[in-house]
């Protein structure tokens, strides 16, 4: 047929089929390569989306661990503090402080303390009584803190310097159960608790003026075993000194442990 023998026809037909198959395989390989390229591009695009979505969360978590949350005055909360609340500047070098200056303490009574006292006592608490008590409390606080700090090796001064730590204390929410008004009379008051108070104290670098710490703690003074005894100016002062002494020892322990 067409001038070719049967064998030639078969040979020609085989060669044609082989050629067609080779062309189809080339097309298949091209399509496979194109499809593989598209799959790789799709996978790469998905991975890039995942990286974009995950990276900010990972960075945010890393930032949270590296940078603790700071307060409005740029301080960081002290974990497991020995007082109710304590914040400190983690960048401050407390080891430079060898001397301490104590500012005059601010003293404030519990709200309605005078009214409550006058409702339950035969003698009235006058404004001048409250002012005298506040002066006595401030004096006792300064005296106790000075004694404890000097005993711990800190020099207490009244000047500024690059090695001076300034304490600004405030005795607030003061609640004295049975204040001694120092008036004539034979009435006596027996109590199981002298009272309670909250210390709010700020720490400053006297050289730069920066606040580098603050703390607050509330304590109540109770007689051992709930024992009831006579409350007067002597017992009140003794109980107040014990309370102030505990606060002073807590401050000294913190300074010695972390920065001395």
**Domain chopping of the chain, boundaries:** 1-67, 76-258
CATH architecture type of domain 76-258? 3-Layer(aba) Sandwich (3.40)
Which two tokens mark 103?
């500012």
Q: How would you write the pLDDT of the chain (260 residues) with one tens digit per residue?
A: 444 454 454 444 455 555 545 555 555 455 555 555 566 666 566 556 555 555 565 555 555 556 789 999 999 999 889 999 999 999 999 889 999 999 999 999 999 999 998 987 666 899 999 999 999 999 999 999 999 999 999 999 999 999 999 999 999 999 998 887 766 554 555 444 678 999 999 999 999 999 999 999 999 987 555 444 445 677 788 889 999 999 999 999 988 886 65
- Looking at residue 175, its pLDDT comes to 93
Which two tokens mark 125?
């608490």
Task: Give the Cα separation of 226 and 224 in Å (integer).
Answer: 5
Residue with tokens 């067409």: 2
Task: Give the Cα separation of 96 and 119 in Å (integer).
Answer: 52
Which two tokens mark 170?
């405030």
pTM for this prediction: 0.70
- Looking at residue 235, its pLDDT comes to 79
* Cα 74-75-79 angle, rounded to 5 deg: 155
Give the gyration radius of the chain's Cα atoms. Answer: 41
- Looking at residue 63, its pLDDT comes to 54
- Looking at residue 169, its pLDDT comes to 98
Task: Give the Cα separation of 187 and 185 in Å (integer).
Answer: 6
Give buried/exposed letters for 102-133 (b at 16+ CB in 10 A, else e): beebebbbbeebbeebeeeeeeebeeebbeeb
DSSP string, 160-184: --TTEEEEEEEEEEEEESS-----S
Which two tokens mark 141?
């606080």
């Amino acid at each position: 047929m067409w001038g070719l023998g049967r064998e030639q026809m078969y040979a020609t037909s085989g060669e044609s089929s082989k050629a067609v198959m080779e062309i189809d395989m080339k097309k298949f390989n091209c399509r496979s390569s194109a499809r593989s390229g598209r799959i790789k591009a799709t996978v790469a695009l998905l991975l890039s989306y995942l990286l974009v979505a995950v990276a900010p969360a990972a960075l945010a978590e890393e930032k949270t661990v590296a940078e603790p949350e700071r307060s409005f005055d740029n301080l960081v909360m002290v974990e497991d503090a020995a007082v109710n609340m304590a914040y400190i500047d983690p960048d401050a070098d407390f080891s430079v402080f060898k001397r301490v200056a104590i500012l005059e303490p601010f003293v404030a009574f519990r709200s309605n303390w005078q009214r409550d006292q006058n409702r339950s006592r035969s003698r009235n608490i006058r404004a001048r009584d409250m002012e005298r008590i506040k002066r006595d409390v401030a004096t006792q606080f300064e005296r106790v803190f000075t004694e404890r700090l000097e005993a711990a090796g800190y020099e207490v001064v009244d000047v500024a310097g690059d090695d001076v730590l300034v304490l600004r204390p405030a005795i607030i929410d003061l609640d004295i159960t049975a204040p001694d008004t120092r008036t004539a009379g034979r009435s006596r008051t027996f109590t199981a608790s002298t009272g309670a108070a909250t210390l709010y104290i700020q720490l400053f670098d006297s050289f730069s003026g920066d606040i580098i710490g603050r703390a607050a703690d509330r304590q109540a003074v109770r007689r051992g075993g709930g024992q009831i005894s006579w409350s007067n100016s002597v017992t009140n002062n003794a109980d107040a000194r014990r309370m102030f002494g505990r606060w002073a020892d807590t401050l000294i322990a913190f300074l010695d442990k972390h920065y001395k």
